[in-house]
């Protein structure tokens, strides 16, 4: 760009034209994002500051970022952020960029929680009628029985030690650990492959104080970024905890079988299709988060195999998948004995999500 004085308006117009010539699909939107990142102004503020001259530092940043975008680098990596539902989510290379369709994955989980987990006196927090399911009461009765059995065992042990003339009573046996699933957080969600943390953080923010999410990822960069995003949106670790490890390896033994929802947006692009993805995806986003094997279901099969170990009876298993893999994924769920198997479309009416329930 020339060295003469540049206003916000002139820089925006020039960038729109330049990116349009480079084949940018939405040049004005891209230009707004880039200029907002360079100036610190929100997109709407650009239009009330049209006559403001840009500083040399802002021009230098804008120049570098426009070149990066023209070369195909994703806007989210250049600007360092994206929007996801109601949140501003930080992004960085090495971690998958959140997609708009994944917002519906959150919606599916919230619908389930509202209708079947979070209801009080028959009405959920969003005003929906709660579906009364037998397994809710059954699970609570089972937990109560476990606690009573542990207490009885502790009393018996204490009595035996006392009859033997021990100078001090033996310490009571502890009841099953409840601290990892706080009693005042009624809904429990396990997410595998958290990436930026956008799914778990959205659940925690949109149902404040009602959801505890434990989220795992095999990539240390993802865990670090998700933790920073949690701090930025002021969510407590009690409501969104990020753990490093493969699939459910970081899940504690006493947490197994306690989750109401098991959710994942795993690598799901068939290997042959990865090479056909747009350059800004294939060349910049991590292959580990994209390639799902020959049919795109390699990781999905592993998730489905462990779903019965992590879910409580009647719990929801939900995954985002490649549109051409959904029918095969649904059939796999049926093969594993899952109930209420269904496929849900995204906003473009393409099949995108498989949902299933763990049979009682």
pLDDT tens-digit readout, 101-149: 999 999 999 999 999 898 744 344 433 333 333 333 443 444 455 556 5
Total domains in the chain come to 2
- 216 lies in some domain: yes
Q: Dump pLDDT digits (tens) for 137-166.
A: 443 444 455 556 556 665 665 555 544 333
Sign of the four-CA dihedral 116, 121, 125, 129 = positive
For the chain, how far is it from start to end, CA to CA, in angstroms? 65
Give the per-residue pLDDT at 145.
54
Give the per-residue pLDDT at 185.
72
Q: Dump pLDDT digits (tens) for 89-104.
A: 999 999 999 999 999 9
CATH of the domain at 272: 3.40.50.150
Q: Which residues partner with 123 through β-bridges?
A: 120, 129
pTM for the model stands at: 0.79
- At residue 147, φ and ψ (nearest 5 deg) are -65, -40
Give the per-residue pLDDT at 347.
87
Give the per-residue pLDDT at 137.
42
Can you give the residue range of the structural domain that contains 244?
102-131+182-357
* CA neighbours closer than 13 Å in the CB half-sphere of residue 5: 4
Q: Are residues 122 and 269 in the same domain?
A: yes
Give the per-residue pLDDT at 195.
97
Averaged pLDDT, 296-306: 97
Q: Which of 163-177, 222-236, 293-307 has the lowest mean pLDDT?
A: 163-177
- 161 lies in some domain: no
Q: Are residues 296 and 192 in the same domain?
A: yes
Q: In sequence order, what are the residues at sequence separation of 6 or more whose Cβ sits closer than 8 angstroms to the Cβ of residue 64?
A: none
- 81 lies in some domain: no
Judge contact between 261 and 109, C-beta under 8 A: yes
Q: Which residues partner with 88 through β-bridges?
A: 83
Q: Are residues 242 and 302 in the same domain?
A: yes
Give the per-residue pLDDT at 5.
86
| Residue in the block written with tokens 């988060």 | 289
What percent of the chain clears pLDDT 70, i.e. is strictly above it?
81
Torsion of CA 36, 41, 44, 46, to 10 degrees: -80
Q: Which of 176-180, 262-266, 291-295, 344-348 has the lowest mean pLDDT?
A: 176-180
Q: Dump pLDDT digits (tens) for 320-360.
A: 999 999 999 999 999 999 999 999 999 889 999 999 999 87
- 334 lies in some domain: yes
The two structure tokens encoding residue 347: 């906003």
Reduce the DSSP state of residue 285 to 3 states and report it. Answer: coil
Give the per-residue pLDDT at 30.
94
Q: Are residues 62 and 107 in the same domain?
A: no
Reduce the DSSP state of residue 189 to 3 states and report it. Answer: strand
């Amino acid at each position: 760009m020339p060295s003469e004085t540049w206003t916000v308006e002139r820089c925006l117009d020039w960038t729109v034209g330049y990116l349009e010539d480079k084949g940018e699909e939405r040049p004005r939107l891209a230009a707004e994002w880039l200029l907002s990142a360079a100036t610190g102004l929100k997109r709407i503020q650009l239009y009330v500051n049209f006559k403001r001259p840009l500083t040399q530092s802002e021009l230098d940043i804008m120049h570098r970022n426009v070149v990066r975008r023209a070369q195909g680098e994703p806007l989210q990596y250049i600007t360092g952020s994206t929007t996801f539902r109601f949140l501003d989510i930080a992004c960085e290379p090495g971690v998958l960029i959140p997609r708009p369709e994944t917002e519906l994955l959150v919606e599916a989980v919230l619908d389930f929680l509202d209708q079947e987990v979070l209801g009080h006196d028959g009405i959920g927090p969003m005003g929906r009628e709660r579906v009364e399911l037998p397994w809710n009461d059954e699970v609570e009765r089972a937990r109560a029985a476990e606690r009573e059995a542990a207490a009885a065992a502790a009393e018996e042990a204490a009595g035996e030690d006392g009859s033997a003339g021990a100078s001090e009573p033996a310490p009571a046996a502890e009841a099953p650990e409840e601290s990892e699933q706080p009693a005042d957080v009624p809904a429990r969600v396990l997410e595998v492959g958290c990436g930026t943390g956008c799914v778990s953080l959205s659940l925690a923010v949109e149902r404040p104080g009602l959801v505890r999410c434990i989220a795992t990822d095999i990539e240390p960069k993802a865990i670090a970024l998700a933790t920073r995003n949690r701090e930025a949106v002021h969510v407590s670790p009690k409501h969104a905890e990020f753990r490093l490890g493969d699939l459910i390896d970081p899940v504690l033994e006493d947490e197994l079988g306690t989750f109401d929802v098991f959710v994942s947006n795993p690598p799901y692009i068939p290997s042959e299709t990865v090479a056909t993805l747009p350059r800004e995806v294939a060349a910049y986003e991590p292959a580990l988060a994209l390639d799902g094997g020959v049919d795109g279901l390699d990781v999905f099969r592993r998730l489905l195999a462990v779903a019965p170990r992590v879910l409580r009876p009647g719990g929801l298993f939900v995954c985002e998948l490649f549109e051409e893999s959904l029918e095969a994924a649904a059939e796999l769920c049926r093969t594993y004995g899952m109930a209420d198997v269904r496929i849900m479309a995204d906003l473009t009416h393409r099949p995108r999500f498989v949902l299933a329930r763990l049979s009682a």
